[in-house]
Amino acid sequence: MKRPNFLVFVTDQHRADYLGCAGHPIVKTPHIDALAARGTRFTNFHVATPVCMPNRASLLTGRYPSVHGLRYNGCDLSYDASTFVDVLRAGGYRTALIGKSHVQPMTDMTAEQRVDPNSIGPIPEAWRGDDADYDQETPERYRGTERTQIHTPYYGYDHVDMVTGHGQNCDGHYAQWLRAQSPDAEAWRDPKNQLPHDYTCPQAVRTPIPENLYPTAYIRDRAVDYLTSMPKDDQPFFAFVSFPDPHHPFTPPGKYWDMYDPADFSVPLPYEAHQNPPPPLRWLHERWDQGLRVSGGQEAFMASEAELKEAMALSCGMITMIDDCIGDVMQALQNSGRADDTIVIFTSDHGDYLGDFNLLLKGALMLRSINNVAMIWCDPKSRYAPVSDALTSTLDFAPTIIERAGLKPYFGIQGQSLLGLMSGSRAARASLMIEHQDNMTRMGFAQPCMARTLVTATYRLTLYQGESWGELYDLAKDPHETFNLWDEAAYVETRLRLTEELTQSMMDAVDQSPRARRRA
């Protein structure tokens, strides 16, 4: 039996409802919509954690962050960790990463230290680690114009075109290539040299980088090159095409900057819509009221209606550019003669508040807008139901691809293949768990936030470590999560039942690998 190829498209910080096929009234995504029309769109696909690095590691491994070890941004995914790409490679696949990886740190910033250095002994960590190179995504590796060589296989990838960073500030192989294209490359990337505009939204930057030299276009071109130059043989391929947009800063180039008018957008869920805001939401609102918000970094902040509508319009411009580039890659796939044997998948690493309760970006408030992402599975050999509302997870990505490739998973994988769910041979799970662990103190917490969330078809329960409060929402009656039932007497029994179920989920998530070699 001929094994299928896989072409995977991934976006960054892209909430599930910002697609035409998901019912968004404004954004245009015809090429992604076409994939959904030919495949299955999962409406209840949730992240393992709503943070970039740990969730990308969960996508690769099929394991929770607390298990694979990349628990929050700034850690590394150990080279000892098995990935589904390793399985494909061992099974005879060509494997390629084109674009954003982000399972190693991609900045040179030192992490916040919460340990007294005088308390550290001669052996600093509980795990010894290894002497391998975990700096393959850091900026200093990509100076100049000479292409940096990646040590491969890189988490299973034999071919790597690395793009790090976000928006016009992307680095990696892209930055080396851009410097070779123009002597203006560094000036283009400096926000001081942005084109004139009247937007007030924080992190809205009108980049002078031409459309054809913008990171999204670079990734498109490298993906087209990969498909076009592939040998004409029967060896199957796996290509992971990963775009850094629409993650902030908001920098759509050229025509995509003003493709959408902020006036056409609305803020349907303002802060006032929440009837009893939890402490972090109140804290962010107080900071906004006092003029103390921090809006230039990576943490969530509150914004005005005008700022939010600008962010929405610019995000849509970035999304439509990605969609246009996906169309070009799909045409290259068709031209290669491999389309009939290629499964195409679309997903994202996590979402963005993008206006919910006046918030932008992401944080420790476990709203659907950051936990629910798109998942489209388009298999030319198998037609399933066009839409599934089953509870599914990033953890399911790895075992699904492994099974469809006709291979066996490694011991310790924690997700469930979606193939049985799509074919009707397996029942949907009743609930799923989402982890969150921060490495910085923010959003009004007294310590870095650790949270665990249970999502069912009708409820969302979130527990916060060390806090006397939590969150409980009746999703059937309150789908936008505007009234916290945590302290409601009528829901005490529900809260206790869901807490017990969450505890069972946490026990189920304990690492089982490596398995015992012998009896004791």
The model's pLDDT over 373-424, given as tens digits with 9 standing for 90+, comes to: 999 999 999 888 899 999 999 999 999 999 999 999 999 999 999 999 999 9
Inside any domain, residue 458: no
pLDDT at position 112 over 90: no
Task: State the Cα–Cα distance between residues 352 and 50, nearest whole angstrom.
Answer: 9
520 located within any domain: no
* pLDDT tens, residue by residue, 426-442: 999 999 999 999 999 99
pLDDT-derived band at 111 (thresholds 50, 70, 90) equals low
* pLDDT higher than threshold 90 for residue 474: yes
Residue 119: pLDDT band with limits 50, 70, 90: confident
pLDDT tens digits, 212-251: 999 999 999 999 999 999 999 999 999 999 999 999 999 9
User: Average pLDDT of 287-291?
Assistant: 96
Residue 176 domain-assigned? yes
As a whole number, mean pLDDT of residues 286-294 equals 95
Q: Is residue 512 a part of any domain in this protein?
A: no
The pLDDT, as a whole number, for residue 419 is 96
In a domain, 36, yes or no: yes
The CA-atom distances, in angstroms, between 200 and each of 68, 246, 301, 310, 487 are 40, 18, 15, 8, 39
The count of C-alpha atoms lying within 13 angstroms of the C-alpha of 388, restricted to the half-sphere facing its C-beta, is: 27
Distance CA 456, CA 433 (A): 9
Mean pLDDT, all residues of the chain = 96
Domain count, the chain: 1
169 has a pLDDT exceeding 80: yes
Q: Has residue 514 got a pLDDT over 70?
A: yes
CATH number at residue 360: 3.40.720.10
Query: What confidence category does residue 253 fall into, taking pLDDT thresholds of 50, 70 and 90?
Result: very high
Chain centroid, CA 511 distance in Å: 23
Domain membership of residue 171 as a residue range: 5-109+131-427
Which tokens sit at 265?
């957008």
Q: Is residue 496 part of a domain?
A: no
What pLDDT shows up at residue 113?
Answer: 60
- Can you give the pTM of this predicted structure? 0.97
Reported for 425-429, long-range contacts at CB under 8 A and 24+ positions apart, including other chains, are 428/390, 428/391, 428/392, 429/390, 429/391
Q: Are strands 40-42 and 387-388 parallel, antiparallel or unpaired?
A: parallel
**Mean per-residue pLDDT, 101-115:** 80
Lowest average pLDDT, out of 41-55, 116-130, 361-375, 441-455, goes to 116-130
Q: What is the pLDDT of residue 115?
A: 65
Average pLDDT of span 350-363: 98
Q: How many whole angstroms separate alpha carbon 52 and alpha carbon 63?
A: 15
Does 336 map to a domain?
Answer: yes
Flag whether 474 is in a domain. no
